[in-house]
Each structure stands twice: as C-alpha cells, then as structure tokens.
Structure 1
Amino acid sequence: EYLGVQTFTLKMKNTIMDAHDSILAHQVKETRSANHKRIASPFQVGDLVYILTRNMIFPKGLARKLVPKFVGPYRILKKYNESLYKIEI
C-alpha cells in the first residue's frame, strides 16, 4: 500500500543481511587465523611438568616478586584435551 515504507524496509533488511554475512565471514577468517598458529601439545600422561604461578594465590604476607615463577615438577595424571590436564600435586 505504501511504496516508500516497503522500499525502506526492504533496504533495511538487505543492510542487516549484509552486516550479518560480513560478521560471519570475519568470524571464519579469525578462526582460521587462530587455528593456523596453534600447535599440538607435546605433553603425554606420565610426563613431568612445571606450573606457572602467575594465577596462583599465595599466603598473605608473601611478596609476589619473591615467589618463584614456576613450581614443580608435577606428574601428568590425565589428559582431557590438548590444553587441559590433571596433575598430581
């Protein structure tokens, strides 16, 4: 009935679909880029590993700069996926 309104809604629909397609294309590109740089984990069950202490909580009064950067070695007990392991502490 109203030609101007129909034209406007059609243009908006096309614009939204174009934006959606661009977002999906960018996500695919970023995923490829991230996976291209990824390397397989060299660790196996039974290996000894050191753990980074950056995200660990230590007792109050212990200065962060005096804490060692790594602790261990700990034995790997189970491998859940390429980046998640259960270790023996």
Structure 2
Amino acid sequence: MTNRSTGKSPFSVVYTKHPNHTVDVAVLPQCNSKPAAEFAEQFSQMIQEVRQKLEESNLKYKEAADKHRKKREFKVGDLVMIRVRRERFGHGSYSKLSPRKIGPFSILRQINPNTYVVDLPNHYNTSNTFNISDLSAYHPPDAAPTNLSSSDSDSSVSGGE
C-alpha cells in the first residue's frame, strides 16, 4: 500500500522494489561491481526524493493548520484572564466547580513570544510566569474602565516563584 506523503510503499522505499516473494527480504552480500554501484546511486537518489516529498507534505500540512491558527500577542499592561488547571494550581485551590478562568490580571513583561509574567497575587501560591496558551484577553462586560488596585496584587516583577 502506498503512503500518501511519499507516494511509495514502505517496502519499496527500503528495498527499492515491490515485493514479489518472501525471499525478497533476504540481505544481499557486498560486492564491488558497476551494477551494484549504480544500484546504490539509484537507491540514495530515491531516498533523497522521499525526503523531499515528505518535506513538501509537511509544509502542506503546516499551511493547512496555520489557516486556523490565531496569532496572539499581549503588551505590558494588557489585562488577561488565566486558565485554571489542576496541574498548575495546588491542592485545595482547584475544584471542578471553580471558574475555569481567573482574573483579570495585568501583564508585567514578556519573556519570549510564548511566555508572559502576570501580576498574580501571592495567595495563589504558583509562579506568575504563564504560557500564552493559558492566557486570554480580558473583555470587560461594559464600557466602564477597569482599575486594579495594588492591594489586589502583591506579586514581584521578577517572574520567579
């Protein structure tokens, strides 16, 4: 059966031909002949073609996945909601019936495109550094300005625990 990415069957990639019989799986001894050298050259060329087709196939899959992907970026001072996960928040602070997101909290700084330091209060007992997948933009329910008082947040800017 042929692979849709390579256009060849796995057997034909490994053994350079389609199987005729179970004896075809046998290992051939080494020899120093011109036909053997040509065969080796054809084999290496075929392997290169398979690699190229796999790269093209991967690019095609990536383009299809990127069509549905949204680029998210936050700036310092933006308000975000944090997704609450059992792995992240300790025993007793997470419940199945608790809200799935907490916040809003402001962004203190960006470490890299995927990691942000959030102004998280110390009573959460977790690091204030979050992956972008756990952050979502805060949209207030009305047009009134949202002010966070400094008593609500007492975390450090360092990004540590």
Asked if TM exceeds 0.5, the reply is yes
The reply on whether 1:58 has 2:90 as its aligned counterpart is yes
Q: In structure 1, how many angstroms separate the alpha carbons of the residues matched to 2:79 and 2:45?
A: 57
Q: Please report how far the alpha carbon of residue 26 of structure 1 lies from its aligned counterpart in structure 2 after TM superposition.
A: 1.8
Per-residue CA deviation, residues 9-59 of structure 1 (Å, 9 max, x unaligned), is 022111111111112212322332333333332643212211111242322
Cα RMSD, aligned residues only = 2.5
Structure 1 stretch displaced more, 33-42 or 49-58: 33-42
Aligned residues: 88
More helix by share: 1
Confirm whether residue 47 of structure 1 aligns to residue 92 of structure 2. no
Q: How far apart are the structure 1 equivalents of 2:83 and 2:114?
A: 14
Question: Is the CA contact 1:41–1:83 (under 8 Å) kept in the aligned structure 2?
Answer: no
**Cα distance change of structure 1 residues 52 and 63 upon mapping to structure 2, 3 Å threshold:** closer
Read off the aligned partner of 1:59 and give its amino acid letter.
Answer: H
Mark the CA change 1:76 to 1:63 in structure 2 (over 3 Å): closer, same or farther. Answer: closer
The alignment's TM-score, normalised by the length of structure 1, stands at 0.72
Partner of 2:144: none
Is 1:27 aligned to 2:52, yes or no?
Answer: no
Unaligned runs of 5+ in 2: 1-31, 121-161
- Which residue of structure 2 lines up, in the alignment, with residue 73 of structure 1? 104
Structure number with the higher strand fraction is 1
Deviates more, 1:49-58 or 1:73-82: 73-82
Work out the CA distance in 1 between the residues paired with 2:42 and 2:95.
Answer: 58
Which residue in the other structure is 2:49 paired with?
Answer: 18
2-structure distance, mates of 1:87, 1:32? 32
Larger radius of gyration: 2
